[in-house]
Every structure is written in structure tokens, then in C-alpha cells.
Structure 1
């Protein structure tokens, strides 16, 4: 048994314990309680003067698939040859040796979601992984963590310049609908064949990848900045009865009531950015506050390498400048992020039974002076300053 003792423990699930003890046994949190008494025989990590928190969760980035240092050699984010590629799997492209994983640990990020970029209307599977390991298959928490889709300027720019669809927003929406309708037809043929009412269709990997989306087992995660693109995603999700996450959601504050009414979730960011393209004209730090105030479940992302993954906590801190309450800002990179990923039973708070993914810091995570001192994943020390 390992005891992290004497620190200021932000459980996220309840009160701050100062001082508090976190007990770890067999890769899991065994207990969390106030004080500094530890069981006899336990190995002790002295956290006196430190903040103890659950590991941070970056709900949207491209670590390992847009590799640090490299340019085109290590960039596998976008398959520019076909605008509809839901069958692509991030697990086949993520390099666990990417320096971005080390950067994540240095910033206290113990879980992240990585995957395709936004050049394609349907880009492929996204992947939730722990940030320590040498074989990606052994780092996986959830596969897939959703199917990536994109609306707005990126698919238009990627294909329209070559006189290919989508050259307009209408075409992007039509291609998305077409792929979903084809997958529905494929599902119907499979069901009929299983019931003896026809022959089994030839395997269709594109449609097969969308079946879990149609069954609401995983969300469709749609890149959308402008309010009109966000509402197009909502319209299509309603039409096909899909679970929907809006990625970026830059102008979500303009339609926050609509998103809340339809149970749409948002992964907001990158927060540390300028108006790098026309779709970011309406960017504001108040976005997260408005979305949260309307009741939209949200997480904060870095979109690494757009913002380096180690600045996830600072990104959430900046959302506070826009009015997001401190508690919600902390939750946006811990338990609320875990909830959006469907991993809240394992991650996001310091509670008995959860994975022992724990970060020790020398100050509050939103203070720019704060340094990450030590990181544990599944109870194992994986990074130390």
C-alpha cells in the first residue's frame, strides 16, 4: 500500500482536505480521508506543502498523431484523399514515443483523447488513452471514444480548392447525411440477413464504423466553430438520433440554450488562441461561462499542438477569467471531462475504487507559477520534476 500524505487534497468529488491522505492499493485508490495518519507498513509519499489532485484530462488533442519535432513526416492527422473516412482508426497512427506524451505528463495530464484532424467531413475514430506507456494498445482506455466529424471551413478548404466536394457547407452536411443513411441501410441488411430475410452484405468498413454511432454507443464528435455550423450538427444529430459532442464550440454561447435543451455536450477550446481564421471571429473567454450557465456539460481542451498539451490547466484557468467559476473550471479538466468521455467511473476524482491517476503540484493548478512535482498513473510514479 502507498500513502500520499500531508498535502492539500482536491478530491473534486467533495470537500478539499487539508491535510489529507490518499491510499493506493493495486493500481486503485483505496481510501481518501482527512488528516495525516497512515496505516502501519504503508510506503509514504510526503506531500506536505503540495496540492494533490486527480490527473488532468484533455478531452481533445492530437498528441501522438501530430508528432512533436516532425512536420509532414510525423503528421498523420488528415487523410486528404477522401472527405469521408469514418473507417480510419487513430490506434493505427498514434506513436506512444511522441514527445507530446512526455509533455502531457509534465503538465499533469494523465488521460487524453487524440485522433484525426478536421480536414474531412468524417475523419475516423478517436481514442482515449493514458499518457504513459510504450505500446499504444496497452494505453487505451476507450476505443473508439467517438467518431470525428467536421463542418465549416476546414473540409471546404481541403477539397473545394480542387473542385471536389465539399466545396460548400451544404455539401459537407449532405456528405455527412449520406454516410449516415448508407450506414443505416447497411445495418438493415445485416439485421435482415441475421433473421434469414436476405443475404449478408459485403463488408463495408465505412458503414461498419458508423454503426456504434447509430446505436448511440459512442458519440459523433463534430468540429464546429460558428453557431450556424453548430446548429447544422444539432440538426443532423436530431435527424438520426445521435449522441452529439461539439468540438471547439467557439460560438456556442450564441446557441447555448439550444444545446442544453437537446442534451448536447461541448469540448471547448483551444482557449489560448487568436482569431487565426474567419470562424474564430466570435471567440471569447466568456464562452465556457455561458455554456455552463445554460446547463451544457463541458470540458476544456488544448487541441495540441495548437496549444501545447502541458498548458491544459492554464487553459481552464483562463476560462475563469471569462467568468467560469473555479470549481467548474477544475471539473472541466477532471470529472466533467471524464463524464463526457463516459469514463467517470474510473477517472476524474479522488474516490475509492477509481484509477490511482494522481498529480502533485506545488501550488494551485491555475497559478502560472505552479509546477507539477510528481505524477502517478494507476498508482505508479511515471513522472517527477
Structure 2
């Protein structure tokens, strides 16, 4: 058994616990509180003067499928041979040796959603993994089939417009998404008929129609966000809007439709037209209107390791510290559909914990200890372990 004692425990499941204790055993949190009895046999780690948080959750990345330092050989995010590829499964491309994963752990990031890219109107299936290194991607899995990536806006138009084939317009992008959903609806309805044939791609879309996973819609511009919501409503399926750069411009509409967003990355320039209204104040505006959202790094667009810094920037521009931390812990977990396992410090949750030497969203604060599934300092990069324990 492991006991973290004396630190300020930010549970994200209730009020902060000054001088709190967290007990860990068998990869799970077994107790947390201000008056927890520590068994004599427990290994005690004194966290006095420090902050203890749940492991940080990055709700949108391409970690492991856009492998750092591999140049073109590590770019596995987009299958651009055709515009609709729902049969693609990101799990088949995750490289556990991606240096970005080790960096993420060192930054306190313990859970990430890994998605295909946004070249295709229908791009493939997402997975949620723990960042601990394992021999295979399966061993890192927290949730497979975590969403079907669809994409609107400039990226599909640019990629396929250059090939002189659809989609060249936003209309064609939406039509291809609808066509894929309609084919899957017919596929499900005809299951068991004499001429029915198994189809790997339509099986993936059928998971969306059955409510087993959501659509994950890449959409920056306000009209693209609304198109994603419209199509989801037409088919009665769940959708999570990714990026939502102009979401703050339609915050009341998003609140009325109970939309869920994964917002960001917020530390980029306006590198393309659909980012012209990018605003650091967007999270604060969304929160003021009651819109649910998580924050993302979009790694490798921004390094996942510094997600708490990006959340801290949202605080600078009006978001409360509690809301910002929730957007990379508890709220991120709930939006990803893994809130029963990660994102909070509570009995029964996975023992993913970070000990910080200062307030976790402060630029100067560093993780001094990272516990992932109950294991202390389990990373590949030995130099980061030394840094934690200085």
C-alpha cells in the first residue's frame, strides 16, 4: 500500500483537502480524506507543501500516430486514399515508443484520447489510452472505439480539392457524412437478409447508430459546428465537437442544444482562415453560458506535456481555476466517457495521481511525482524521474 500524506489534495470530487491523505493499493485509490488512518505497513510519501491532483487528461491528441522525430514515416493520422474510411482503427497505428508519450507522463498527463486526423469527412475510430509505456498498444488501452472521427471545414476540402475529387465544398463534406450514416442505417436494418454482407466500415458506423460510441466532429467555424450538430440530430446520434474555435460566438445556441466540446488548441496562431476568431477568452465565455467542455493540446500541434499551462492561460483570460482544472481532469473524463475510472481522486478510481511543487496550473509548477495505475514514476525517460525527485 502507498500513502500520500500532508499535501493539498484537489480531488475534483469535492472541496480541496488541506493536509489530505490518499491511500493506494492494487492500482486503485482505496481511501482519501483529511483523517485517513495510514496502515503501519504502508509506504508513506510526504507531500506537505505540495499539491496532489488526479492525472491530467488530454481529450484530443494524435500521440503515438504522429510519432515525433520520425518525419513522414511517423505520420499515420490520415488515410487519404479515399474520403470516407470508417473502418480505420487508430489502435492499429499507435506506436508505444513515441517520445511524446514519455514527455506526456513527465508533464503529469496520464490519459489521452488518440484520434485519426481531419483530412477525411469520415476518418476512422478513436481510442483512449493510458500514457504508460507498454509492449503493445492494447496494454495501454482504457477504452477502444471511443468515437468515430468526422471532419468539416477547410481540411477535407483542401486535401481532396487538390486531388480534384469530392469533397470540394462544405456541402459535399456534409453529404459524404450523411451518406455514410445512411448506408450504415440500411446495413443495420438489413442484417440477416439473404444478400446481406459483412462490411468492416459500416460495422464501425453501426456502433455510432447503436449509441456505443459518439461522433467526434472536427469543426472550427461556427457554421461547421452547427452542421455537425444538425447531422447528429438527424440521425439521433451522440456528437462531441472537437476544436470549436468559434464556439464562443454561438455559446447560447450550444448551451440550448446541450452540446459538448473539446476546445483548443489555444496557444496557436491564426494559421488558417477558420481560426480567425481564435480567442483565449473562449473557455470563459463557454463556461459563463453553461456549455460543457474539455481542453486539448491536439498534440503534436502543441505538446501534450504542457496541457496544464494551456489551461492556466484560460484562467488568465477569465476562466476560474477550478473550471480550468476540471477541463483537464473530471470534465474531460466525463466527456470522454471514462469518468468512472479517471479524472477524480476518490475511492475506487484508478490510482493516477500527480504531485506538484506549486499550484498545478501555474507556469512555473512542475510534477514532482507521477503515479500511474498505482506505479510510481513509471516512464521510459530516466532523466524525467530524476527531475521529479529533485
Q: Normalised by the size of structure 1, how large is the TM-score?
A: 0.96
1:372 equivalent to 2:367? Answer yes
- The residue that corresponds to 1:203 in the other structure is 198
Could you tell me how far apart the structure 2 residues matched to 1:216 and 1:41 are?
Answer: 46
Spell out, residue by residue over 1:247-267, the C-alpha distance to the aligned partner (whole angstroms, 9 max, x if none).
000000122222222222000
Partner of 2:165: 164
Contact 1:19 1:36 in 2 (8 A): no
Alpha-carbon separation, structure 2, partners of 1:200 and 1:97:
44
CA-to-aligned-CA distance 1:29-53 (integer Å, 9 cap, x gap): 0100115852221111121222111
Number of the residue aligned with 2:174: 173
RMSD: 1.1
Conservation of the 8 A alpha-carbon contact between 2:102 and 2:133: no
The separation in 2 between residues aligned to 1:130 and 1:331, in whole angstroms, is 18
Q: Counterparts in 2 of 1:268-283, with a 5 A limit? A: 268-283=263-278
Structure 1 residue 41 and structure 2 residue 41: aligned? yes
Give the match for residue 238 of structure 1: 233
Q: CA deviation at 1:242?
A: 1.2
Alignment-derived partner of residue 149 in structure 2: 148
Following superposition, the deviation at residue 200 of structure 1 comes to 5.5
* Structure 1 residues 263-321: Cα deviation after superposition (integer angstroms, max 9, x where no partner): 22000000111101111000001211121222221100000000001110011111112
- The superposition leaves residues 193-218 of structure 1 with CA deviations (integer Å, 9 ceiling, x where unpaired) of 2xxxx326111112111011111221
The DSSP-based 3-state class of the residue aligned with 1:246 is strand
C-alpha separation in 1, matches of 2:195 and 2:262 = 38
Pair 1:113 & 2:113 matched:
yes
What secondary structure does 2:201 align onto?
A: helix
The answer to whether the aligner puts 1:187 opposite 2:184 as a matched pair is no
Going from structure 1 to structure 2, the CA distance change for 1:261 and 1:106 (only over 3 Å counts) comes to same
Between the aligned partners of 2:115 and 2:243, the Cα distance in structure 1 is 14
User: What is the alpha-carbon distance in structure 2 between the residues aligned to residue 51 and residue 33 of structure 1?
Assistant: 14
Which SS does the other structure have where 1:274 is aligned?
coil
Residue 133 of structure 1 and its aligned partner are, at CA, apart by 2.5
Aligned to 1:255, what secondary structure does the other structure show? helix
By how many angstroms is 1:72 displaced? 0.6
2:190 is paired with a residue whose SS is helix
Partner of 2:129, secondary structure, is strand
Q: Partner of 1:297 in structure 2?
A: 292
The answer as to 2:342 corresponding to 1:347 is yes
SS of structure 1 residue aligned to 2:318: coil
**Which runs of 5 or more structure 1 residues have no equivalent in the other structure?**
none
Question: d(CA) in 2 for partners of 1:218 and 1:299?
Answer: 18
Provide the residue aligned with 1:132 in structure 2: 132
Residue 41 of structure 2 aligns to a residue whose secondary structure is coil
Off by >6 Å, runs of 4+ in structure 1:
none
Query: Match of 1:316, SS?
Result: helix
Q: Is the 8 A contact 1:335 1:344 kept in 2?
A: yes
CA distance in 1, matches of 2:98, 2:320: 34
The whole-number CA distance in structure 1 between the counterparts of 2:239 and 2:369 is 35
CA distance in 2, matches of 1:66, 1:137: 18
TM-score scaled by length of structure 2: 0.95
From 224, 227, 230, the equivalent of 2:222 is 227
- Number of residue pairs matched? 379
Cα pair 1:18 1:35 within 8 Å, conserved: no
Question: For residues 359 and 353 of structure 1, what CA distance do their matches in structure 2 show?
Answer: 17
Offset, 1:322? 2.1
Whole-angstrom CA distance in 2 between matches of 1:326 and 1:53: 13
Alignment map for 1:23-62 (pairs within 5 Å): 23-34=23-34, 38-62=38-62
Identify the residue that residue 9 of structure 1 maps to in structure 2: 9
- 1:218 matched residue in structure 2: 213
Greater alpha carbon shift after TM alignment, 39-48 vs 308-317 = 39-48
2:55–2:108: 8 Å Cα contact kept in structure 1? yes
| 1:329 and 2:320 aligned | no
